[in-house]
Amino acid sequence: MAGIVVVGGGFAGVWSAASAVRLARSHGVDVPVTLVSAGDDLVIRPRLYQAEPDRMRVALDRILGPIGVRRVAATATGIDTARRTVATVGRDGTAGEIGWDRLVLATGSRLIRPTLPGAELLHDVDTLPAAAALDAHLHRLPETPPRDGRFTAVVVGAGFTGLEIATELVDRLRAIAAKRAAGERVRVVLVERADVIGPELGAGPRPQILGVLSSLGVEQWVGASLAAADADGVELSDGTRIPAATVVWTAGMQASPLTAAIPGERDRLGRLEVGDELQVSGVPGVYAAGDTAAAAAEPGHRVMQSCQHALQLGKFAGHNAAADLLGLAPAPFAATPYVTCLDLGSTEAVFTNGWDRTVVSTGETAKARKRKVNELWIYPPVDDADELLRQADYRFSHRQIGEPQVA
């Protein structure tokens, strides 16, 4: 038996693998489960906007090793759904091929980088290497010659990620400047092409967001986009020139390009259309989870490309892939109620409930929740097979220990 192959080592991939093992073991069956990932770690991607991003990872072998998941350290380069194989390239450049009986595609999403003059100068926090490069760049700023904009950061995109990195950068830049350039101006500018900050977050949390941005001194530039960047600053689409040594791009996400290897329909984000059981529509034996899945969360709403939904989708996809292989009844995907917890700097956050993002809490109450999300709830158990399999149950949520899962 080739078993179940999970492609992708993020939240959805990890929980898909664990959930598949859990169901098989609960029926006394040993089903081979293989996880294909180019990296050795689960990157805690929702935390990459924070300082010291290199800490934001957990060894995959410490998570999945105790339950016997085989890990292949390679990049998946293609999928043949007719032959049921995954093409891979190892770290030494060796081509390989892995057969599967059931496949879970959980290769996530990636930032859409712009094609504009100076695009190579833009930083982002989409991947661990990129976030680490930004962190190193910030710490090198005091070593550069004093100039206008040396401690100015322009953040492009005022969505969830843009707001978190912009508010985070205020204290990070101030701390760096205070050590070797005390008194030099620190400036964070948030640029949004829509006419409001946080357009996709809706009106509910906007007053709180705007209030925090104002208190932190984050400048807001709406109705404009980035036109060009160079070593000395940026030019906006309205002709405005902003001297800046740091530019962070956060605008636009797209599902992993590996979704194109699956002969299924895709939405505008490149996500694969899936049915209630997360099987790719019209492609037997192939399931999608996390940011590659265009699944219904509830009537009128699809899942978000978020940690909250990646965790849940992974558990259902792994369970159903194993159920399909073993001839068991599948579990229709059912998302927990949608919530968000937006970080807004060192002391602020805003927690919302529902698709209209009704504000539930702000300030220290929301900040305490966000700390739990970032530092506890989204981390899978390590070196603990029993606890991992307990949490891999698709019915498990943090409601069982007093709190819901949060993105």
* Nearest residue to 128 via CA among 36, 58, 224: 58
Which one-letter DSSP state was computed for residue 61?
Answer: H
Q: How far apart are CA 200 and CA 109, in angstroms?
A: 18
Reported residue count of the chain is: 407
Which one-letter DSSP state was computed for residue 68?
Answer: T
Q: How far apart are CA 71 and CA 205, in angstroms?
A: 42
pTM: 0.94
Structure tokens at 69: 């998941």
Structure tokens at 322: 């194993």
Residue-level pLDDT, tens digit, the chain, 407 residues: 899 999 999 999 999 999 999 999 999 999 999 999 999 999 999 999 999 999 999 999 999 999 999 999 999 999 999 999 999 999 999 999 999 999 999 999 999 999 999 999 999 999 999 999 999 999 999 999 999 999 999 999 999 999 999 999 999 999 999 988 888 999 999 999 999 999 999 999 999 999 999 999 999 999 999 999 999 999 999 999 999 999 999 999 999 999 999 999 999 999 999 999 999 999 999 999 999 999 999 999 999 999 999 999 999 999 999 999 999 999 999 999 999 999 999 999 999 999 999 999 999 999 999 999 999 999 999 999 999 999 999 999 754 433 444 33
CB 359 within 8 A of CB 205: yes
**Given phi > 0 = left and psi -120 to 50 = alpha, else beta, which region is 316?**
alpha
Q: How far apart are CA 218 and CA 359, in angstroms?
A: 22
Domains 4-110+253-336 and 115-249 share a fold: yes
* Class in CATH terms, 115-249: alpha beta
CATH number (3.10.290.10, 3.50.50.60, 3.30.110.30, 3.20.20.70) of 4-110+253-336 reads 3.50.50.60
Q: How far apart are CA 11 and CA 211, in angstroms?
A: 33
Structure tokens at 156: 């492009």
CB 11 within 8 A of CB 48: no
Could you tell me the residue ranges of all domains in the chain?
4-110+253-336, 115-249
